Chain A
Amino acid sequence: MYKLITLLKQIAVPLLFVLAEVLAILHYANSTAYNKAQILSATNSAVGAVSGVFGSVGDYFRLASENEALRDEVESLRNQLADLVADSTLVSSYSAEGEIAPYYFSSAKVLQNSVIRQRNYFIIDKGLRDGVQANMAVLSMQGEAAGYVVTCSEKFSVCMSVASLDFTMGGRIQGKEFFGSVGWLGGDHRRVSLTDIPRYANPQVGDTVVSTVSFRFPPDVTIGFVESWEEADDQTTIDITLRTAVDLATLRDVLLVQYQDSEELENLSSGY
Chain B
Amino acid sequence: MYRGIAYSVLFVVAVLLQVLLLDSLFIIPFGVPMLYLSFLILQPFDRNAFAMLGLGLLLGLAMDLLSGMDGLYTISALWLAFVRRGVVILSLGKDALRESFVPSARVLGGGRFWLYTLSALLFHNVVFFLFEALTFDNLHITLSRIVVSTIFSAPFIWAAAKLFPSFNKK
Distance from B18 Cβ to chain A, minimum over Cβ atoms (Å): 11
Q: Which of B20, B30, B32, B71 contacts A186 (CB 8 A)?
A: B30
- Among the 9-residue stretches B105-113, B118-126, B131-139, the one with 4 or more Cβ atoms under 8 Å from chain A is B131-139
B residues 57-86 touching A (CB-CB < 8 Å)? 57, 60, 65-68, 70-72, 74-75, 78-79, 82
A-B complex: 4 closest residue pairs judged by Cβ atoms: A28-B71, A31-B70, A187-B29, A186-B141
Contact-size category for B: 35 or more
Complex Cα gap A46–B19 (Å): 12
Complex Cα gap A93–B165 (Å): 76
Complex Cα gap A54–B142 (Å): 32
6 example contacts (A-B, Cβ-Cβ < 8 A) are as follows A13-B49, A13-B53, A28-B75, A43-B65, A54-B16, A186-B144
Distance from A67 Cβ to chain B, minimum over Cβ atoms (Å): 18
- Among the 9-residue stretches A15-23, A77-85, A97-105, the one with 4 or more Cβ atoms under 8 Å from chain B is A15-23
- Among the 9-residue stretches A109-117, A174-182, A209-217, A229-237, the one with 4 or more Cβ atoms under 8 Å from chain B is A109-117
Dominant secondary structure of chain B at its interface with chain A: helix
Say whether A113 contacts B65, CB under 8 Å. Answer: no
Query: A114: which B residues are within 8 A, CB to CB?
Result: 23-24, 67
Closest B residue to A38 using CB positions: B68
Query: A13: which B residues are within 8 A, CB to CB?
Result: 49-50, 53, 82
Say whether B65 contacts A39, CB under 8 Å. Answer: yes
Distance from B138 Cβ to chain A, minimum over Cβ atoms (Å): 6
Q: A34-72 toward B: CB 8 Å interface, digit per residue (1/0)?
A: 011001100100110011001000000000000000000
Most A Cβ at <10 Å: residue of B29, B30, B49, B144 = B29
Closest A residue to B68 using CB positions: A40
Closest A residue to B148 using CB positions: A187
Say whether B70 contacts A25, CB under 8 Å. Answer: no
Q: Which of B16, B79, B129, B144 contacts A21 (CB 8 A)?
A: B79
Apart from A31-B70, A249-B26, what are 11 other A-B pairs with CB-CB below 8 Å?
A14-B82, A20-B53, A21-B79, A25-B75, A25-B131, A43-B66, A114-B67, A116-B26, A165-B138, A187-B141, A189-B26
